Amino acid sequence: MVRVIQTLLTWYQEYHRKMPWRETSDPYKIWISEIILQQTRVQQGLPYYLRFIGKFHTVSDLALADESEVLKLWQGLGYYSRARNLHKAAKIIHQTFHGRFPENFDEIALLPGVGDYTASAIAAFAFNLKTVAVDGNVKRFAARWLGVDIPIEKQLFVQRIKHELLEVLGDSPDSNLFNQAIIELGATICTPTNPSCSRCPLQETCVAYSNNHQTILPVITKKLKPQPLNIVFFAIQQLDCWWVVQRDESSVWANLYEFPNREVNALEMDPVVLLDEITGNAVDSKSIKILGFKDFKHQLSHRSIQARCWHFSIEVEGDLPKSWVRLPSAAMGEIPVHRLMEKMMEYVRVWK
């Protein structure tokens, strides 16, 4: 075991990629990076991390911001509850810990948006606590290296590899480096397809390699098919202004803004009839000019969205729903929106 960890750390120090959140021991920066990197590739998350740290230098800066500011900075990254929980957690740290990041595992794990992986990662990377941070990379590497054929989404699998990896770590003082190393190994060598076994520092002791089981491990049984969802949007223009609504807190794209819309069974509904339904006949049909429509396909992890965006202009509004907000086009860039909304704003040329 001593031999293994020594080999691993030596490999890591020579070959690891340089990343800004590994050049610091500031728990705030490490925390931000770990939240951003949840289910997100380094390449995609890096610019967001730099912008975040650039705008909010400390946890208190973040705590004192508006949620919309935080969501705006998160725009396009997905899983927006991460941003809302990040903001909530910052307020907790600011208020109950007076801006000082908690330094023990249990207090870290209590923060909203921080689960077992993230708490372990912060504990190891910021405070060098003895723990194992199990993410997707570590699961894949451990399943192969230890030859564990329990499906990786089972609790028993995580229990098993955590126990074994903790034993590998042993009494080493390098929990920080060890955790960085196994994650980096999974990300760069022990990849999902075509792992680079020839370059792997742990090839000699790898169970999967010795049995030629790299392609059948890890065992993954889950697979949910995205369900179809049809939505008709209305991009309603009044001279240089647009109408938008904010989504509610308990749905996809929570708290983000978008054009008024309605879920439908089929996209081919009469748009004027649909608009009357949504507004309660608030808009005089003679006041409506139809400027065109465009269809969009948008893939989420759990939904296959087909959207139709109608471009209307109206002269005068009637008694529109209270939740509708009219914004000048200049203000449309200030509100947090989802990717589909970005595409639709481009279609109707909100900014000319």
* Distance, CA of 249 to CA of 1 (rounded, Å): 49
- Report how far apart, in Å, the C-alpha atoms of 4 and of each of 51, 164, 172, 231 are: 38, 13, 11, 54
Q: How far is the CB of 239 from DNA (least distance, A)?
A: 29
* Distance, CA of 240 to CA of 64 (rounded, Å): 32
Query: 337: which DSSP letter?
Result: B
User: Which residues 6+ apart lie within 8 Å of 66 measured at CB?
Assistant: none
> 187 by DSSP, 3-state: which?
helix
Q: How far is the CB of 42 from DNA (least distance, A)?
A: 5
The structure tokens listed for 204 are 């000699």
Contact between 106 and DNA by CB under 7 A: the answer reads no
Contact between 102 and DNA by CB under 7 A: the answer reads no
- Cα torsion angle, 156, 161, 162, 166, sign: positive
Among 24, 40, 214, 306, indicate the residue that binds DNA (CB under 7 A). 40
Contact between 220 and DNA by CB under 7 A: the answer reads yes
Q: How far is the CB of 153 from DNA (least distance, A)?
A: 7
Among 254, 288, 325, 332, indicate the residue that binds DNA (CB under 7 A). 254
Contact between 116 and DNA by CB under 7 A: the answer reads yes
Print the binding letters for residues 312-341 with DNA: x by CB under 7 A, - otherwise.
--------------------------xxx-
Contact between 81 and DNA by CB under 7 A: the answer reads yes
Nearer to DNA, 1 or 252 (CB): 252
Contact between 77 and DNA by CB under 7 A: the answer reads yes
Backbone phi, psi, residue 244, to 5°: -135, 165
Quote the Cα angle for 320-229-280, to 5°: 20
Among 42, 272, 327, 332, indicate the residue that binds DNA (CB under 7 A). 42
Among 79, 293, 296, 347, indicate the residue that binds DNA (CB under 7 A). 79
Contact between 223 and DNA by CB under 7 A: the answer reads yes
Contact between 41 and DNA by CB under 7 A: the answer reads yes
The structure tokens listed for 47 are 């610019």
Pairing outcome for strands 227-238 and 303-314: parallel
Q: Which stretch binds DNA (CB under 7 A): 245-253, 265-273, 284-292, 323-331?
A: 245-253
Whether 34 is catalytic is yes
Among 3, 106, 171, 251, indicate the residue that binds DNA (CB under 7 A). 251
Report yes or no: 347 and 308 within 8 Å, Cβ to Cβ.
no
Task: Annotate 195-220 with b (16+ C-beta within 10 A) or e (fewer).
Answer: bebeebbbeeebebbeeeebeebbee
Of 34, 263, 277, 334, the active-site residue reads 34
Residue 7 corresponds to which amino acid? T
Contact between 287 and DNA by CB under 7 A: the answer reads no
Contact between 50 and DNA by CB under 7 A: the answer reads no
- Show which residues are catalytic: 34
Residues that bind DNA (CB under 7 A): 19, 21-22, 33-34, 37-44, 76-81, 85, 112-119, 121, 135-137, 139-140, 154-155, 180, 183-184, 186-187, 192-193, 220, 222-225, 250-254, 298-303, 338-340
